[in-house]
Structure 1
């Protein structure tokens, strides 16, 4: 593990306690000057050195109010401050006080504090060694003889303190990491078991959607005992089910990501409409009876755009609705949801006229595992809701009158508030942005923004060779100087990014003669460049806005009679993909594992392979290695091989590309994305 990564992990480990550390450091250093000078006088004291230590610790106590530029160096400042303020300071003072008992004990305490704060043993060893040696060297320069009062037995005592502390801290760390590993493994197991039925359900729904005609007129020869209205209803139901399944997959991924750090990860945060979230929640909530929907009344005084994750917020509303409906049998039961704005925040009120909560119990309802007598209740719902709202930089409160009503008040900051700006600034450091073009002025401005926000900037010149090499999944946003590319090149770019949700910015210049006309699909992403601030606002807006992939499909006339092989041990998924590809005009052959696929390729040719990564007999990874390296499959060594897998994390993606896979698709995927991806690689 690299030193920078060790520093980052150590900082993340102690970050929740930095305020306490900063408070004690900024107060303790000057306070002990008076203690050792007047109450228990020591031979040597150094007020300027103590003030330096105090200044170094102050940013910990006010870290939420530090300027944005400081945040870039916060991890390095953390390690330097602990190294300077603990082992260096106490070793230096111990030497100047001629190895007195008070300062020997203080130095031992500093060692233990260093171990507690910086849990990484190698960082502790390096920092303590450097600090102690530096203190001894400066002491020698200022005092000359630093051995007065020193005894070699002290080295044994210090070494024992150090290694004992390291051993106990390491044991504690291993225990914590093992619990986290168990939680992740348990969650991954649950997610895997949930994905299988969801995938099968998705398959059946989209196959039905494919087989059902648009209306009776599409199939006049075949009589059906079904009306056009019923067909419309069936198609709408299927589409809703597909949407619910997609949301379920997204929720699973979000929950798993949040478990990793015991808090909600902000990586998926974006702009969303509170009105859309609430309306969607009420539309798809699992009511026990149809009449339950009439018990919920929604009033939105003003729809606001907020910053967070719409799926997680919907989960919060699901939980509040579930808790409210528990007491729906009470007379005159109703649920009122209202949204209104106040200053720089949006306030959401969820009020039910149910049983109410006793005043003495309200303080506990957001605690983990706390239940208020409801059957089959884990006590995790409201605590997770609070974590979600806290992650959005908001707050959630509960007010209740026993046997009358219960009200939950959610306060969320506006997207223009300083606290949201800070979250976005922190997230920008993890963004990767690609610029395509030759205009020096805009490149200079983007470099300026990259320095300020600390995001990663890549650049490709407007050549066809460079465009083909773009892997759009590696970038969070692509900025294209539209006046620097021709129509043919622009079409290649669009084909590369159409099947993803990557954000795009097309920049045009009013003083350029080379004009390219964009279709209506891409016009919202076009703006005329005139100033750095305009580009800055556009970039931030696009990075945190959700873009849907272009779902327009290639026309049947443009599809050649290519042969595609589907390799998957799941029969229903082979059926699903096969029907979609056949209806799009492709020839399709199927194989149930990698070995069957290889046997077929020795006797016939295909133009593209869709292959699962994990299968019995021979996996997709092993089959891909054979195709790319074995001369028996020379005719297929350069054809597109698309990994069509149910699980794709970053490490897996890298390993799949390294073995020779051309592209990656997470199944189940929509018809549009499947066909566009296949068509893209067949035309490449």
Structure 2
């Protein structure tokens, strides 16, 4: 970074506080003249020099009212003012006052102030050096001997002050910048992960509007009745939309709420089945083609629990699958996911037989913004995966043989390990637990556990308990002494919390426990109370036990007329756009990338191509270049190609037009926009 860039960066950093700096400078320099001249008289004072310093600070205080011409020089003025008014002025005054204690302390304060205002160590070093030398020179010209009162030990004190201030300020600045970088990368990652499902969701609404008649009537000349096949189609689309919304909502909320000082917060962590999470991930992953699922082999010797979050682990599996599928066109490509136990930890291995990663790249593979051999990749996925697995108290490693395979190894500790127990202990202090009952020993033991774990314990007598209390208290768990509660209240209580995430523990301490049947789908945890150790174990188990739900998909049809080719790696967008085009009377051909599209165009013709600009394997841009220049596609050199993209600026449009793109369509587009542009070029 050049000195000019450093100065610009330093100015932007302090600019919000310049008004207060200017105000203190304008008032402070004249005010301290009165203090040092009359209240605590010093051997030397200089009012004109102080007024010059005050004048230099004045533009900071009135910067909003200065002419625009001043803005050209504001950064230079900023550096000169701080350099002249702090290290130069205080060093000069210290020399003229014969190195008195008051001015030595003032000079040290000036060093700290300059470091706080200009955080860049190099600028401060240059400014301080120039200022101190200039002050010494001016002092020498004014009084010949500048060493009166000087001692070499002062240099040690000044150096310590300078370098200590630099180190602390630099560390603070690095921490701020790393938080900003993490926030940017995290928000970019969310945007990247959510753009496609949201686009698919938007497109599906257009399909719903297309399939639903405006009114229901038997008159075929007016409006048709909706058919059973269309009803089935509508229901499937709605189910898919609900799935997209739920997954997107839970993913965004979890990811946003899980960030705490650049780390994944463990507040949502629970015991989870590794097998269930991986199977769920494989079932809901957005494969480009149905056949892609057959490329993934999953094998597990024994299912184990891990302590973490299902959405976050699914996010990791999604990223590893996405990276692997990037090279799925390589001969004999496949992905093997294995789960096994070794040395008190569970190991998840994700191995793909793709291109492999060079040895020089592996050491940086989990670094933010680093990518290896992939176009249009943000380099955020694996770095966030590393944060997730680290938050699970585990580790993720990468091994690769170039042109053969790449293996990611995830190591997760067993739930009985000391590191997991430590995490649970730390998390218990944020829990809120309600105890309902009369048993004194049980209440006493609950109080002991509350003191030990520092969780919030509320005690209520069952005879006077009102279930509406749950509406105002966000309980994590309710412990009920079933020997002291009426069945009617117990059923009422269960019905009130059945749809919530609140855990219920039923405790019996008598020999004849009453029969409890609340629901066929969910039974609270019931055990006979004997000792506080058992109560502690059962409480921790229930607090961190989790249950999970599922998902669904759908199919469509075909019609006939002019041929439109849809080339997009997003299977949902191809599906929805295809339905709209088919219902408008077009014959639709689908391709998931540029290479697949070119293979079709070698043997058949189409009337129009809708092409996504960015796709794996071969982008729409590269495919367009081939169509326009390769003789194999001579029949399509004048075929309209509509670029389908998430964002297009003027410069990008011009570039795409030059390589042969006919027109542009923003993603997602409404039904009207999509059909208008297709009609426009097919009818041209």
Provide TM-score, normalisation by structure 1: 0.49
Structure label with greater radius of gyration? 2
Provide TM-score, normalisation by structure 2: 0.49
- Structure number with greater CO (CA < 8 Å, separation at least 6) is 2
